[in-house]
Structure 1
């Protein structure tokens, strides 16, 4: 099928500057900030099967992943993990896209996609291992169809494109997805990946979470036009959606996945959302944005708007609320218990998975580190 690409309208100012949220160009929206359904003749077709049970399931995912995030932030503040990149406010973009995928698809992310990891089936203690410093990665990528986080900005887009080309050559209908932020779109890797994917019609989806800030720099500083306008220049159709609207995200992702599976090639999705918390727990966002801006985006909260829809349709009753609350509390308990139970690795194990086979350089480094550790035996520090 041919993917509908949404052409954003011109906007005043710098095109998507986070300091002027009211100046944001138009995007696909099926559920507004008040939880009111908005009709769209194309995109409605791709969420027509989402009944009360499915919507409640998505709502639970949103609530649970937010609870996981807040618990992890608390663990960092209590000194139990070294760092945490909060996803607060971006739950709909991640859950809505991840729940579209099959088990045989493969996901490549940056370091903020904990909700994607949850949807892919990553165990909660494995989610915490890298941040507690007990593992170099955390989980087996092939067991869940998701690579471990890429901290090098944008590198995962090339990994996803290469994997998608491999699926293409194997005759598989699996797709690859690359998740990245607005800041990554200025990296060469991202642009090279889009060019390569277009050239070979690779079955890959480029999913940009435009959360308005590349650490402390607003998106308008590096993107004078909406980010979704870039990829068509490379021959890749794009869709710009309200990233806080889980219905719009789901519809856009289904369109992109259908295109990829049917041999139509890549799609670029820009999900316009907002990072309500800090870039990481070592960041102080009050230094570069004001509370009025944050408040304006809090009013567009992805969980609140779905909650209002469910309330309006008499789907979210007291029993459903209690069940979702229990699920969230259980997840938070498992995050904390799993994190605290992670055992510190043996110091020499840092060399175990560097290379598949030993080599002289690695062996020399191993010997030097062993001699260094021996200096502290007998209680010396």
Structure 2
């Protein structure tokens, strides 16, 4: 499936949702899309409940992260509320041996890949450089530098080619990052070498305070074909559509047909990060417009219509969310800050003279503060 819609200028951020492929409408009703549906024919009520549970757990992690930052326990947090369907749907289409390259907002991707409660908070708390071992869950460290992870993913994908396996590399970035040179350069390399790389653009309508309609006059999915990369534009608040799109992309990659591009049209309900005040640049009516298209609520509505959502299931999900939320809080509140000198540990896998020099300089600096506590 390639992008076939007419490329017309994008509308305002609060109405640009019609020209997308979807399988679940905002009210929870099923949408007839044969091309998309063929990729999710195996998804029954049980699998749909699993996707719902995943999204609920991710929302709970996100809620705890915001609360912990507001309480001074974390230095920063990048909320993902509203984007759960994009993250869960696409990540669930990956195999364990595939490699994911997320940005700083892909809490759901990290959850699906196997990140543990402490992995979501210790880096944001400043206790460690990175929490999980990337090779333990085949997921790179969340990237702060905008768009850099796309180059990393394509490089890894080119390595996959040389290994002769059928793995794929999937990279996640936002609409703002799509304007970065790194993303465009990554697409050049991916296309030129036919690398098994998948670009997932979470178009959440805002690059901090810059609306997508200002930086992208046409749908972002339209850029990829210019690089020779087939693309698909889907409803990013529809977990089934996101699952289907990623299966389409992974199938192409595993068959040796090269890279694919997915634009998931979604919305960032919260601030860009907890240091941001979105009320200064967004209208509350716009936010409410998107709240009514909540990705979790629409799956619940669909499950209820099929008789697959009852009080027992709701209670089990709520209990799992409570336990996960408690574990995330415990990981943050129970963290023990290491001596400052240890910030230089684990920077390199092997001894390095440059680090030795930095360590000596930093230790001398720290020694200059000795006795200050006693003086106070």
TM-score between both structures, scaled by the size of structure 1: 0.96
- Give the superposition deviation at 1:302: 0.2
- Mean Cα deviation higher: 368-377 or 149-158: 368-377
Aligned to 2:325: 332
- Find 2:247's aligned residue among 236, 245, 254: 254
- 2:116 and 2:208 map into 1 onto residues whose CA distance is 28
Aligned to 2:5: 8
Q: Secondary structure, in 3 states, of the residue corresponding to 1:22?
A: coil
- 1:176 and 1:160 map into 2 onto residues whose CA distance is 6
- 1:116 and 1:201 map into 2 onto residues whose CA distance is 25
2:235 matches 1:242: yes
- Find 1:218's aligned residue among 204, 211, 221: 211
Q: Residues 259-274 of structure 1: matches in 2 within 5 Å?
A: 259-274=252-267
2:36 matches 1:77: no
Aligned to 1:189: 182
- Give the superposition deviation at 1:88: 0.4
- Give the superposition deviation at 1:376: 1.8
Contact 2:7 2:222 in 1 (8 A): no
2:341 matches 1:342: no
Contact 2:198 2:250 in 1 (8 A): yes
- 1:124 and 1:16 map into 2 onto residues whose CA distance is 39
2:112 matches 1:115: no
- 1:76 and 1:354 map into 2 onto residues whose CA distance is 26
Aligned to 1:294: 287
- 1:33 and 1:25 map into 2 onto residues whose CA distance is 11
2:363 matches 1:370: yes
Once the two structures are superposed, what CA deviation does each residue of 1:118-155 show, in whole Å capped at 9, x if it has no partner?
A: 00001111221110110011110000010111100000
Contact 2:203 2:265 in 1 (8 A): yes
Aligned to 1:42: 35
- 1:219 and 1:17 map into 2 onto residues whose CA distance is 9
- Give the superposition deviation at 1:9: 3.3
Across the aligned residues of Structure 1 and Structure 2, the Cα RMSD in angstroms comes to 1.3
- 2:101 and 2:338 map into 1 onto residues whose CA distance is 26
Structure 1 residues 301 and 36: CA distance shift in structure 2, 3 A: same
Contact 1:127 1:139 in 2 (8 A): no
- Mean Cα deviation higher: 361-370 or 133-142: 361-370
Q: Secondary structure, in 3 states, of the residue corresponding to 2:242?
A: helix
Contact 1:108 1:179 in 2 (8 A): yes
Aligned to 1:139: 132
- Give the superposition deviation at 1:345: 1.8
